[in-house]
């Protein structure tokens, strides 16, 4: 535990009086009790030192804490030392290229950090509203469907909503890769409830792409106690805030998966004996999500920009956790299972995805009008899908048939090969400027591509590439028309 600062507060030492899994009851004799969210260090001869966090005052001399590490081996009577404040974690240049856990312990094999590395508490109030600065600067991701229909903002919050297996993590990894060259700031990745396999793949991908030296990885994996998964985003935020406030550098904060943060909070709430709220979630759901999200902001000339993956349980977008998170984000990128089944990757739903930045005063009149027309065309196609499935395209009127054909071409044009999937597909990734995306959509909407094969527009970058495929007659096979209309 060399990475955990073990300073002693004014309160005297205590000892463990009860253990129930991750819940630890501790009594203190003399002095004041540690405050809520203060760190405690439980010393055990066989187990070593376990970090816990105060969650409730049970009486004048007893507190209830949640352990952030496994408690196997601890016993009643173990000495508990208060830290005198919240958990502190290492920050600054020293953590770039390193892998940390929730309490700041190094998880890679590159040796310990120096003793003089600055540390900051993981709990902190959000910047005052008067100090926050808004920004209408767009983050160009190079991903056509996101830049067109759900543009991201510098200093804003974007969330990728989707059920299991529709491509949230792949999309987050592609955003990291896409921004590595254009985005020269610092990246902090928080793996909340990640599988070990996902964490290993992320570490390898970042190492191979050369972006690890400007990135800090903070993990609270799925096999760790709920307290660790619950506090990992706070650790990542403390690191991001240091670069923003003290180094005045832009920070890209990536979190996968915020639903696991809510889920861990529900587990902690249950362990503490609180009555559940709707659908079994913790009664403090809204305040816990707000405490995390409101710390993500622009201050002065530097910003923390967040991109979050959000698991949608059973594809139910009315789930309380999903709706609570959605109220805090500026851009919603909704991933569709039906589009993934059709092979339309990235499987971003053009109708449900949205952004508050999609305003003519922010993105310009052309961008706003083209995105609106793309949505309207695809939505009209979806309204006609039942008719097509029952009666076929032949029964549609001329205008409807033309709209359907253009909508199908738009859907295929908005697909795109990713750099992070090149090893699996053999197709090099594409990064497309927003001007090229708008120009391609305008051409399709104007009918310039009406005579083209749909396959020419599938998994390409710019419209020029589709034109070359069409002229060369080298269109690759794509999902069948019957599958796309299902």
Q: Supply the residues annotated as catalytic.
A: 168, 194-195
Q: Rounded CA gap, 54 and 152, in Å? A: 37
- What separation in angstroms does the CA of 322 have from each of 160, 300, 428? 11, 31, 34
Cβ pair 231, 193 in contact under 8 A: no
Nearest residue to 462 via CA among 419, 407, 416, 406 = 416
Cβ pair 403, 381 in contact under 8 A: yes
Q: Rounded CA gap, 157 and 345, in Å? A: 23
- Other C-beta atoms lying within 10 Å of the C-beta of residue 428: 10
| Six-digit token string for 217 | 């990885």
- Listed in sequence order, the residues at least 6 apart from 470 whose beta carbon sits closer than 8 Å to its beta carbon are 452, 453, 456
Parallel/antiparallel/unpaired status of strands 14-20 and 251-256 = unpaired
Using omega within 30 degrees of 0 as the cis cutoff, is the peptide bond preceding 414 cis? no
Q: Rounded CA gap, 394 and 388, in Å? A: 8
Q: Rounded CA gap, 172 and 162, in Å? A: 12
List the alpha helices (DSSP H) in 392-458: 398-413, 422-425, 434-445
């Amino acid at each position: 535990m060399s990475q955990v600062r073990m300073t002693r507060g004014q309160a005297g030492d205590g000892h463990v009086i009860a253990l129930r899994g991750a819940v630890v009851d501790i009594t203190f004799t003399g002095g004041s009790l540690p405050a809520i969210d203060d760190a405690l260090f439980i010393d055990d001869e066989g187990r070593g030192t376990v970090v816990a966090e105060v969650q409730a005052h049970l009486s004048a001399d007893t507190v209830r804490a949640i352990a952030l590490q496994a408690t196997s081996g601890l016993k009643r009577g173990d000495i508990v030392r208060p830290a005198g404040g919240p958990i502190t974690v290492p920050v600054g240049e020293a953590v770039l290229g390193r892998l940390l856990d929730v309490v700041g312990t190094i998880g890679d094999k590159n040796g310990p950090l120096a003793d003089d590395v600055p540390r900051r508490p993981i709990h902190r109030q959000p910047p005052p509203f008067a100090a926050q600065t808004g920004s209408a600067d767009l983050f160009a991701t190079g991903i056509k469907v996101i830049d067109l229909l759900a543009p991201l903002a510098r200093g804003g919050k974007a969330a990728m909503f989707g059920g299991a297996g529709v491509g949230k993590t792949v999309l987050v990894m592609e955003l990291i890769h896409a921004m590595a060259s254009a985005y020269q700031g610092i990246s902090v990745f928080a793996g909340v409830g990640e599988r070990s396999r996902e964490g290993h793949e992320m570490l390898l991908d970042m190492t191979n792409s050369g972006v690890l030296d400007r990135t800090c990885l903070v993990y609270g994996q799925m096999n760790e106690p709920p307290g660790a998964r619950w506090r990992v985003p706070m650790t990542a935020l403390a690191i991001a805030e240091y670069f923003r406030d003290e180094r005045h550098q832009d920070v890209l904060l990536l979190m996968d998966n915020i639903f696991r943060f809510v889920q861990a909070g529900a587990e902690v709430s249950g362990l503490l004996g609180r009555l559940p709220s709707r659908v079994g979630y913790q009664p403090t759901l809204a305040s816990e999500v707000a405490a995390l999200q409101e710390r993500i902001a622009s201050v002065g000339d530097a910003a923390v920009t967040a991109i979050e993956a959000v698991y949608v349980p059973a594809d139910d977008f009315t789930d309380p956790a999903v709706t609570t998170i959605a109220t805090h984000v500026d851009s919603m990128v909704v991933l569709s299972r039906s589009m993934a089944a059709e092979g339309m990757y990235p499987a971003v739903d053009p109708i449900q995805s949205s952004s508050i930045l999609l305003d003519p005063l922010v993105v310009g009149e052309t961008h706003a009008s083209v995105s609106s027309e793309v949505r309207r065309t695809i939505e009209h196609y979806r309204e006609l899908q039942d008719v097509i499935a029952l009666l076929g395209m032949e029964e549609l009127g001329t205008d409807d048939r033309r709209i359907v054909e253009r909508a199908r071409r738009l859907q295929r044009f908005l697909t795109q090969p990713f750099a992070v999937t090149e090893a699996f597909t053999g197709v090099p990734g594409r990064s497309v400027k927003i001007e090229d995306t708008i120009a391609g959509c305008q051409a399709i909407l104007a009918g310039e591509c009406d005579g083209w094969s749909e396959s020419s527009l599938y998994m390409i970058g710019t419209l020029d590439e589709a034109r070359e495929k069409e002229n060369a007659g080298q269109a690759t096979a794509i999902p069948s028309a019957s599958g796309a209309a299902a």
